[in-house]
Amino acid sequence: MLAATLLSDDKSVIRNIPALKDMSTMLKILKNFGVRAQQDGGTVKVEPKGYSKYTAPYELVSTMRASICVLGPLLAKQKRAEVSFPGGCVIGPRPIDIHLKGLTALGAKIKVERGYLIADGRDLKGTHIYLGGHFGSSVLATDNVMMAATLAKGVTIIENAACEPEVADLAAFLVKMGAKIGGYGTTRIIVEGVKKLHGAEHTVIADRIEAGTYMLAAAITKGDLTLKNAKLEHMIAMVDKLRESGLDIKNVPNGIRVRYVKKLKPTDMTTLPYPGFATDMQAQFMSLMAVTDGISVITEKIYPERFIHISELNRMGANILLEGPCAIIKGVKSLSGAPVMASDLRASAALVLAGLVAKGRTDVHRIYHLDRGYENLEEKLIKLGAKVWREKEK
């Protein structure tokens, strides 16, 4: 949504934005273009009027994969872009070929020089695009192509579009800006290009991955937790698996209540594109299964190499064996606190969850990953009764 504000000259206001490292990075990228942007609490105000720069530098883009989302808006509005290849967590190869395929189909001319994508968008035209990849649809590629198509000439049809709630929420924001978009939330999105977009105000939906992480925190500690503003329908695959395991999960007014009511059972899980089980919940779910009596199998179909956290959980006494894209987990009675290393954003959350129930002290290093996706995690956990604190890395 912050990238989408580049499509207009008018002021936009976006609410319910967390204070995260990634948000800070995105605001720096916008300011680098000459855009006025500031965050006050959970509200961000963006004033793009008069911005003329179109280069997203390596030192900013290299820290966050989502920064690739400025490519589509820059091509549509500025008609050109220079964007460094994106970085982010180390969870295996995450190519941007689907982004390039979709934008090229719209008429963009893109080449690679010095590690940058040099793109010309002077002749963007609506077309019929199939956004298929090796592991299904792509959220960010769908976002990028959808944003570029809003100002392209004619009608764009995106087949195999990502159906995630975040894609639909971005589309809703774009519609408020004056875009003509239909079918969002399904695998077929239709965008009719318009000449100009205006500013808009929007409140972002609750973060289903953050909510899911706290849901698993309740499960692993045998707790009782209410998640305000969380949407059960956005997490139905994970909710289904947790219910299958024995957790009590119910809709309550303005949120979800999660309760441990009986001994949990092991359950097998496969990550899939939405509405399947989210890959971003795989590591946290593994922590729960590691202390659930019995044998469970987790199959990773989105990022087959996203298993670096297994060795760290095993350091804590877990019994997890990796066989290709499958993790075979034999639940243990208890984990033992140990120094562990976070490899990526969700792995760091998984290690914190494991630490909540491990005997003794667990030190999670490289928690800068954690700050990319969780606002004040330790403060919230302390309010819930956890013994957790933050120390500076030595």
What is the per-residue pLDDT across 41-89, written as a single tens digit (0 to 9) for each?
Answer: 999 999 999 899 999 999 998 888 788 999 999 999 999 999 998 765 5
Residue 86 confidence (pLDDT): 77
pLDDT tens-digit readout, 77-88: 999 999 998 765
Structure tokens belonging to residue 44: 């961000």
Confidence of residue 393 (pLDDT cuts 50, 70, 90): confident
pLDDT of residue 388: 97
Residue 352 has pLDDT above 70, yes or no: yes
**SS3 string of the chain?**
CCCHHHHECCCEEEECCCCCHHHHHHHHHHHHCCCEEEEECCEEEEECCCCCCCEECHHHHCCCHHHHHHHHHHHHHCCEEEEECCCCCCCCCCCCHHHHHHHHHCCCEEEEECCEEEEECCCCECCEEECCCCCCCCHHHHHHHHHHHCCCECEEEEECCCCCHHHHHHHHHHHHCCCEEECECECEEEEECCCCECCCEEECCCCHHHHHHHHHHHHHCCCEEEEECCCHHHHHHHHHHHHHHCCEEEEECCEEEEECCCCCCCCCEEECCCCCECHHHHHHHHHHHHCCCCEEEEECCCCCCCCCHHHHHHHCCCEEEEECCEEEEECCCCCECCEEECCCHHHHHHHHHHHHHCECCCEEECCCCHHHCCCCHHHHHHHCCCCCCCCCCC
Q: Give me the amino acid identity at 59.
A: E
81-136 pLDDT, tens digit per residue, is: 999 987 655 444 457 889 999 999 999 999 999 889 999 999 999 999 999 877 67
Regarding the domain delimited by 4-203, which CATH topology (the fold level of the hierarchy) does it fall under?
Answer: UDP-n-acetylglucosamine1-carboxyvinyl-transferase; Chain (3.65.10)
Average pLDDT, the chain: 94
- Tens digits of residue pLDDT in 147-168: 999 999 999 999 999 999 999 9
- Bridge partners of 35, per DSSP, are none
**The 128-130 sheet, strands edge to edge:** 128-130, 155-159, 188-192, 180-182
Q: Considering the chain, what percentage of its residues have pLDDT values greater than 70?
A: 98
Model pTM score: 0.94
> What is the per-residue pLDDT for 110?
95
Residues acting as catalytic residues: 89
- Predicted pLDDT of residue 191: 98
Query: What pLDDT, on the 0 to 100 scale, is given for residue 91?
Result: 46
Give me the pLDDT at residue 133, please: 77
Q: What is the pLDDT averaged over residues 231-255?
A: 97
pLDDT at 63: 81
CATH class held by domain 208-383: alpha beta
Q: Where are the domains of the chain?
A: 4-203, 208-383
